[in-house]
Amino acid sequence: MADQITYTEDNIRSLDWKEHIRMRPGMYIGKLGDGRDADDGIYVLLKEIIDNSIDEYTMGHGKTIEVAIKDDEVRVRDYGRGIPLGKVVDCVSKINTGGKYDSRAFKKSVGLNGVGTKAVNALCTEFVVESVREGQMKRAGFELGVLADDAQVESTTKRNGTLFRFKPDPDIFKGYRFRTEHVEKLLWNYAYLNTGLTLYLNGEKFRSENGLKDLLEDRLDSKLRYPIVHLVGEDIEVAITHTEAYGEDYQSFVNGQYTPQGGTHQAAFREAYIKVVRDFFGKDYDAQDIRGGISAAVAVKVEEPVFESQTKTKLGSQDVGPNRPSLKSFVFDFLKRELDNFLHRNPEIAQALQQRIIQSEKERKDLAGIKKLARERAKKASLHNRKLRDCRLHLTDAKTERNEETTLFITEGDSASGSITKARDVATQAVFSLKGKPLNSFGLTKKVVYENEEFNLLQAALDIEDGLDTLRYNKVVIATDADVDGMHIRLLLITFFLQFFPDLVKRGHLYVLQTPLFRVRNKKETRYCYDEGEKQQALADLGQRAEITRFKGLGEISPDEFSHFIGEDIRLDPVVIGKEQSLQEMLGFFMGKNTPDRQQFIIENLRVEKDEVTEA
């Protein structure tokens, strides 16, 4: 019989605010991470601080926010009203203390729970706040949430506002590093949502004059079917267009806060847009045809917003505010009035929109027969072969708290997929095995997705035929060898997703798995090294007589070893689309017909590396 566990008063503990945050950081900032992903904890820390400055700007105070990041230390300075000097310490160290409970001061704030800055404070080795108000300054410094410097109020000639300086705790954010591309996108989102506001990152300027119109123009990478429709009203702004791309692309915001997982405001927009378009043309077009190829951004302002988590990635509010209409009615009434009027005043745009809808309708009907056969093939394949080794947790029927843990590894060959299959977490990690090199899909129509067995089965495994709402895995990871063939397969897969399912990439679901190139070991210790620098460091630590093994393919890595690389210490590189070049131009250059320009690029960037050998 099992030993009885004693449960007494001695088992009951009371944690103070900082202990609870440090023990359960995920409750406050989501996942931790090392900075590779845009939603890693270090960016949530930065966002929590900037959000306070944005709230000041929204209330009409301070038109400039300065951000500086150097040696992984962050500095954020705004020129708002500053925190009341007598409450500076309380506002950053007492949970549920802040000015946003008073709706007279902050009517449409991003954060309302008085938690954000306290979480940053508790999770940083150094945290300093300075507030300046009318020639007086108050400074307070903390270490891991503990007050270390409580300076007296002093006179100053500095401008009003607040300065935060902090350094994330490396014991919590292991091996972290701020990635410029993620910080820049964060600041651009703030700029687009707050026209007239100027932000700086290490001296580089971020400013938008046309709001969401600028956002779409900067981020669209497919040919527009008609000029961007930009509509602005009280507490709502939308920008809409259609492109030649497949799928739907939405970017939504609440009170200046980017909501990558959408929420009630995005759902209201999608539904309202269908009704307005149908009413305008007087035709019962299929919703899939109306939204096919759409690219839209929607921003709303809501009083006392309700988010589904502390990280505020998905809106849950049903109303615009107390004694105001439902969010669904608010969005529909705005679009019914403004979009309907716009289309009447711009018949050429209305005609281009209708032509895009008709094109989508024709493509859908042309594919109907092929899709039916493809589904039958996918169903048969999933029953009678082991191409997909699925995980136990499925997301198609019900969302669970483990959504973000699900991963699909796309591998090449049976040996690599076999090793990953044996080493994986069967609850959350699935494996899809490719047979040979995928087809180069650049420039092809979606018909090829259903006619090509590999693409059809991969699409079925992900369940993304009708969009990302049914995506079964939060992370889609390309796991190929680090040789020429592996790199080629990687490019072909990325091309497939960018060509037919660009939303998967834009929303941060596609990754490339890093696997070690070397194993360095002696009789006491084994190190796995991902580059030449790590190998040299391992040799320095373990001795020059240590054994070195060069892994030439994933199939050479045993399941026991693989468990080290796809567990807690997994290294994933997100596939990120930059702003510098259009997506179609980039794909055309790398995956289109051979051109002298590409040949010259290969010649100029060719590197020849010596093969490593196993040595004692």
pLDDT tens digits, one per residue of 2-18 = 556 666 666 655 667 78
Residue 341 has a pLDDT of 96
The mean per-residue pLDDT over the stretch 87-114 comes to 63
Q: pLDDT by residue (tens digit) across 328-346? A: 999 999 999 999 999 999 9
**Sheet architecture: strand order including 294-300:** 229-233, 236-242, 294-300, 249-254, 257-258
**Band (396; pLDDT cuts 50, 70, 90):** very low
Q: Among 23-37, 95-109, 153-167, 565-579, which stretch is predicted with the lowest mean pLDDT?
A: 95-109
State percent of the chain over pLDDT 70: 86
**Band (206; pLDDT cuts 50, 70, 90):** very high
Does 583 score more than 70 pLDDT? no
**Band (407; pLDDT cuts 50, 70, 90):** very high
The mean per-residue pLDDT over the stretch 383-395 comes to 71
Distance CA 251, CA 358 (A): 25
Question: Under CATH, what is the fold of the domain 212-359?
Answer: Ribosomal Protein S5; domain 2 (3.30.230)
**Band (247; pLDDT cuts 50, 70, 90):** confident
Q: Does domain 385-515+553-605 have CATH number 2.130.10.10?
A: no
Report helix, strand or coil for 26: helix
418 or 358, which is more confident: 358
Residue 76 has a pLDDT of 97
Going by C-alpha positions, the residue among 25, 249, 238, 6 that lies closest to residue 122 is 25
Residues 6+ apart with CB under 8 A from 213: 228, 230, 239
Residue 386 has a pLDDT of 65
603 or 558, which is more confident: 558
Does 137 score more than 90 pLDDT? yes
Residue 128 has a pLDDT of 96
Going by C-alpha positions, the residue among 477, 472, 462, 497 that lies closest to residue 554 is 477
Residue 356 has a pLDDT of 95
Give me the sign of the Cα torsion angle 93, 95, 102, 162: positive
The mean per-residue pLDDT over the stretch 274-285 comes to 96
Residues found in the chain: 616
Residue 610 has a pLDDT of 39
The mean per-residue pLDDT over the stretch 68-76 comes to 94
Does 613 score more than 50 pLDDT? no
**Band (581; pLDDT cuts 50, 70, 90):** low
Question: Under CATH, what is the fold of the domain 17-207?
Answer: Heat Shock Protein 90 (3.30.565)
**Band (414; pLDDT cuts 50, 70, 90):** confident
Residue 608 has a pLDDT of 43
Residue 594 has a pLDDT of 64
**Band (112; pLDDT cuts 50, 70, 90):** very low
Q: According to the per-residue pLDDT averaged within each range, which of 226-240, 449-463, 541-555, 569-583 is highest?
A: 226-240
The mean per-residue pLDDT over the stretch 138-150 comes to 94
Half-sphere exposure of 558 (CA within 13 A, CB side): 5
Does 533 score more than 50 pLDDT? yes
> In 411-569, where does DSSP find H-type helix?
414-423, 447-451, 453-462, 484-500, 502-506, 532-542, 559-565
Does 113 score more than 60 pLDDT? no
Residue 105 has a pLDDT of 42
The mean per-residue pLDDT over the stretch 357-371 comes to 89
Is residue 213 within 8 A of residue 232, CB to CB? The reply is no
Q: Among 45-49, 119-123, 287-291, 383-387, which stretch is predicted with the lowest mean pLDDT?
A: 383-387
The mean per-residue pLDDT over the stretch 156-168 comes to 96
Mean pLDDT over all residues of the chain? 85
Both structure tokens of 192 = 């687009």
Residue 265 has a pLDDT of 92
Does 324 score more than 60 pLDDT? yes
Does 29 score more than 80 pLDDT? yes
